[in-house]
Structures are given as C-alpha cells and as structure tokens.
C-alpha cells in the first residue's frame, strides 16, 4: 500500500484525503457532544458564583453569597439571603448567579427557604412561586460578580441586559423548611452561563414592621457543564455557533477549509498536520438556531 504523500505546505496530498480527515474529526467532535449531553449530573452544584440580588435587607450579613453554602450557620450566625421588606405580597425578587460554563445541561434547581427560628413565632419566608431563566449578558459578556476573598462588595444589580435562551414554567413553592426540588420537564441544554431565579410573590409578613419578606438559605443546580463545547453569538437575526474546545477546554487553532465545501450555514473549525494531533488541532463550528 502506498504511503500518503504530504504536500510541502503540510496538507493532505489530495482533496479526498483532506475530506476524509475532516469527516473523521467531525465524527469525534459530534461523539464528544453526544456523550456530554447524556452523562449523569455531577455531584456538586453547577453554580460558580453569585452575580447580584434584586434587593438585600441588611448587607452584607444577608447577602446572596450565603445562598451557596448549604450550612445553616456560617461565621457564627444564620446563613441566608433576605430581600427588603414590602407592603405588598405581589412584589417579586430575583437572585442571579453565574454557572461554571457557557453551556450546561440542567435537570433541576433546588431551593431552601429560610426559617427564622430566632423569632418568637418560627416563621418561614418562602416565595409564593419560582421561575428560572437561563441566558447570557448581551451588553457586557465578560462582567464578573463583585466577589472578593469570599465576600461580595455589593449585592446591587449590574447595569446590563440579559438574553434569555430558556425560561421555565412557574413552580409553586411550599412554605416549608426543606430543600425543595423543582425539576425541569426534561433535561435542558442551557445556552449561557447566567441563571436568574425569580421569586414570585410573598407569603410571610414580619411581626415587627408588618412588611413582607422573602428569605432563602440555599440554591443548588443539578446538572453538568459541557467542558469541551462552548458557543459564540453572531449576526442578526441572532445565531449561536457551537465551538469545540478540545479535551482541555481551551480554544483551538483556526482551520482553513481548502475544499470549498463550507457554506453560509456550515463553518469549519481547525485541523493539524498528523493523525495524533488531529483532534487537538481541531475546532468545529456549527451554526444552530436555538431559542432566542
């Protein structure tokens, strides 16, 4: 059998060889994507850090950052977030978090309301219902939360617009001191690293000031981030281009499609000189229409 000849530029000796190499790499990438979509959820939360809360009653001791810790007591005091008080039951609140990766498969979100055991009547400051939004920031995609050395500098909401790629149904919340599970109808591929928990309506009035509050002990996301796949947003109308990042989760070298087979709806990623480094030198892009 004759050995494959390589051109001086390092590319395949024929367009057929090149096309076969490209198809082989595509097969590996699609296989990796399929595997990451079906593997079970990881054992820890998908939340990376808090971003902001719509309001905070006493900052920093009732900050959103305490909702990431499942313990009842932290720094020798109750661990929870509290909204500001409102005279109306209908005022809602939001808690916004950043996930570990830009793409995640989410199965459910768990929330534990706070029970004020230090009050004369043990009261639970739950919401009436919850809803979940997943997406990304359109105005400042690189913004980080104001967390420094384990403490947030502020709970104030950053001035940015979010694009929501998935919005759940409303789920009723029980006025019970337990980690309540809100399962999505099916595992959802969430495009974007932002989760916003909407706490809809209030049920508990504080005896001292007569105002309604919402308080949360813990928020936990059950799912798995996609480590080797990311995305970028292109064009109007909005299109989401999936990017293969390789085994280490870092962007690869760009790939030049000399076969002329790429179309407006199908864009190629990267390649390399030899079989052993084909996948490491490859980033495959797909234009896909998702929920926008």
Residue 250 scores a pLDDT above 80: no
- CA dist 261 and 219 (Å) reads 47
For residue 72, the model assigns a pLDDT of 85
Name the pairing type of β-strands 123-124 and 115-116: antiparallel
Dihedral of alpha carbons 35, 37, 42, 45, sign: positive
Domain ranges of the chain: 15-38+229-288, 47-225
CATH number of this structure's domain 47-225, picked from the four choices 2.60.120.260, 3.10.20.30, 1.10.600.10, 3.90.79.10: 2.60.120.260
Distances (CA, A) of 15 to 4, 260, 269, 286, 291: 12, 10, 17, 22, 37
- CA dist 138 and 231 (Å) reads 14
For residue 183, the model assigns a pLDDT of 97
- CA dist 156 and 134 (Å) reads 20
pTM: 0.76
Among 11-20, 78-87, 153-162, 216-225, the minimum mean pLDDT is found in 153-162
Distances (CA, A) of 206 to 86, 115, 175, 176, 242: 10, 12, 14, 16, 48
Instruction: Find the largest Cα–Cα distance for the chain.
Output: 88
Measured from the Cβ of residue 268, the count of other Cβ atoms closer than 10 Å reads 21
Name the pairing type of β-strands 194-202 and 123-124: unpaired
For residue 193, the model assigns a pLDDT of 95
Q: DSSP string of 75-127?
A: TTEE--EEPPPBS-TT--EEEEEEESSSEEEEEEEEEEEPEETTSSS-EE--E
Token reading at 163: 């694009």
Task: Between 48 and 276, name the one with better pLDDT.
Answer: 48
For residue 284, the model assigns a pLDDT of 40
For residue 155, the model assigns a pLDDT of 66
Backbone phi and psi for residue 144, each to the nearest 5 degrees, phi listed first: -110, 160
Mean pLDDT of 144-173: 70
């Amino acid at each position: 059998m004759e050995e494959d000849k390589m051109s001086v530029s390092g590319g395949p000796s024929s367009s057929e060889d090149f096309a076969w190499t490209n198809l082989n790499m595509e097969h590996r990438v699609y296989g990796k994507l399929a595997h990451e979509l079906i593997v079970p959820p990881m054992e820890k939360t998908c939340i990376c850090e808090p971003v902001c809360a719509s309001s905070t009653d006493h900052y920093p001791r009732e900050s959103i950052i305490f909702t990431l810790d499942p313990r009842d007591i932290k720094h020798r005091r109750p661990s929870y977030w509290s909204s500001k008080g409102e005279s109306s039951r209908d005022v809602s609140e939001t808690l916004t978090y950043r996930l570990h990766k830009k793409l995640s498969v989410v199965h459910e979100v768990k929330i534990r309301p706070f029970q004020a055991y230090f009050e004369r009547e043990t009261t639970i400051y739950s919401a009436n219902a919850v809803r979940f939004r997943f997406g990304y920031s359109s105005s400042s995609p690189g913004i980080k939360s104001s967390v420094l050395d384990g403490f947030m500098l502020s709970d104030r909401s950053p001035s940015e617009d979010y694009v929501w790629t998935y919005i759940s149904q409303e789920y009723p919340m029980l006025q019970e001191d337990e980690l309540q599970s809100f399962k999505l109808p099916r595992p959802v591929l969430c495009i974007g690293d932002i989760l916003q928990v909407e706490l809809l309506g209030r049920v508990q009035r504080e005896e001292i000031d007569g105002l309604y509050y919402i308080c949360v002990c813990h928020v936990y996301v059950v799912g798995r981030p996609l480590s080797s796949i990311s995305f970028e947003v292109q064009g109007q109308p909005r299109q989401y281009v999936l990017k293969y990042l390789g085994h280490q989760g870092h962007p690869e070298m760009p790939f030049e499609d000399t076969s002329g087979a790429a179309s407006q709806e199908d864009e190629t990623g990267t390649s390399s000189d030899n079989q052993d480094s084909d996948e490491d030198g490859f980033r495959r892009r797909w234009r896909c229409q998702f929920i926008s």
